[in-house]
Amino acid sequence: MTAHPPLAGRLDGLLFFPVTAYAPDGTVGLEAFRAHVRGGIEAGAAAVFACCGTGEFPALTPGEFAECVAAAVQEAAGRVPVIAGTGYGTALAVQFARLAQEAGADGLLAMPPYLVVAGQEGLLRHYTELAAATPLPVIVYQRDNAVFEPATVVALARTAGIIGLKDGLGDLDLLQRIISAVRTEAPGEDFLYFNGLPTAELTGPAYRGLGVHLYSSAVFAFAPEIALAFHRALADGDQGTVDRLLDGFYRPLVELRNQGRGYAVSLVKAGVRLRGADVGEVRPPLSEPAPAHVERLAELIDRGLALAAAAPGA
């Protein structure tokens, strides 16, 4: 087996969060999922984050989760790392983490604990126990009921096995204080930061101003051409292309996404279907986008593809 460098050194590029495919009878469609993952890797994904938010982690049974993570690992075949989601309370999060380890995952994205709004001490204990449960490196996802004070993130950064923080909160003041605190109080830790907001490209320029270059791209799941063109332009300082894609595609997409609850997942899945992949609908409690919104999404994809094709280097 080929030895790979540590996970932190392999997360350089666009991070792909595949949707989970379902067959007409409601079961997981593993072959469609495999094709979706394979297509993303071939399109240029730097990593696959399987069974995370976009992949409807809360809708999967442990058995389905294990099958999907294993399928993603097999499709990646070591070319890119596979990071699996985990979540719920500590005991279940540990169970999913161990299933991910057995399936061959390279790391974990730890989503917020289920339901409870815990204090900082409880959150720290939760993630510390999760990190100790397997040898897999852990990225902690800040959002919803898991919001951290800078001192807590310093403690997380000092915890063996925890390698980064994905920010889905969008409080740049807090994030700047977190980054500063870790930099000054845990200077020896090579800690990673990710922009984890839905449609992260919209806030990409702002996050880069804080030194946060890594981000998850939901758009990559259904339009890798657009996502790659934006990523390239942002990295190259091509402000003209960045602005054209923001104005012509990403801002209208976010405005469309905001018209329905759960659209951060269901609209993405509709986009994957529009591009020809038979991945099925979302599972409840999510619901499908309104037909008019899917029509609008199709229009935006066409516009975004035209903008991407006109970008330098396309």
Which residues are known to be catalytic? 141, 166
Angstrom distance (rounded) from CA 310 to CA 314: 7
CB atoms within 10 A of CB 102: 12
**286-295 LR contacts (CB < 8 Å, sep 24+):** 286/56, 286/59, 286/262, 287/262, 289/260, 289/263, 290/260, 293/256, 293/259, 293/260, 293/263, 293/267, 294/270
Report the interhelical angle of 224-236 vs 291-309 (nearest 10°). Answer: 50
Angstrom distance (rounded) from CA 310 to CA 249: 13
Phi-psi region of 84 (alpha: psi -120 to 50; beta: other; left: phi over 0): beta
Radius of gyration of the chain (CA): 18
Residues linked to residue 162 through DSSP beta bridges, in sequence order: 138
Angstrom distance (rounded) from CA 281 to CA 139: 28
Give 23's Cβ-side CA count (13 Å radius): 8
Instruction: Please say whether the beta carbons of 59 and 22 come within 8 A.
Output: no
